[in-house]
Amino acid sequence: MILYCDTSALIKLYINEQDSSVVHDLLQKVETVATSRISWAEAHAALARRAREDAGAEDQIEAARQALQDDWTDFLVADVTQSVVEIAGEFADTFALRGYDSVQLATARFIQQETELPMQFACFDKRLNRAALLLGMEVPFLG
């Protein structure tokens, strides 16, 4: 089983937030964690925002950056190719998704089709989760 983490789920592995423990629990039940190459930039943007909003969290943020860097090579990281962005464009229209959300979904779909393994799509966006469900992915956070 593959656990595909969009950035909203991935960041919960490094920063203690609501539902972080649930993402950690999912991690224990899968063989592989997958994400899109763009998650690196999105995660660093989220960490930088957190640092700006909470000056006292500087050490925690730096530890999160280091942990992400250490784990990154263990993840199945899919590149954003022309075919992925073309699918993302279709998904943006079909499912009324924002740009990077559609790229995350298209990346997960690409991995799902290439590996033919069951996939859980970990995300905390309702619209994106519904789209993943329609594409045959397991969605643990429908909320």
Q: How many residues are there in the chain?
A: 143
pTM recorded for the entire structure: 0.95
* pLDDT number for residue 141: 87
3-state class of 47 per DSSP? helix
75 and 35 in contact (C-beta within 8 Å)? Answer: yes
If you ran DSSP here, which 8-state letter would residue 65 be given? Answer: H
User: What DSSP line would sit under 80-125, residue for residue?
Assistant: --HHHHHHHHHHHHHHT--HHHHHHHHHHHHHHHHH---EEEE-S-
The stretch 64-85 carries a mean pLDDT of 98
Residue 112 CB-density burial (10 A; 0-12 exposed, 13-18 middle, 19+ buried): buried
User: Which band of pLDDT confidence, cut at 50, 70 and 90, is reported for residue 143?
Assistant: low
**What is the share, in percent, of the chain residues with pLDDT greater than 90?**
97
* pLDDT number for residue 118: 94
Domains of the chain: 2-134 (3.40.50.1010)
pLDDT tens track for 20-50? 999 999 999 999 999 999 999 999 999 999 9
* pLDDT number for residue 142: 77
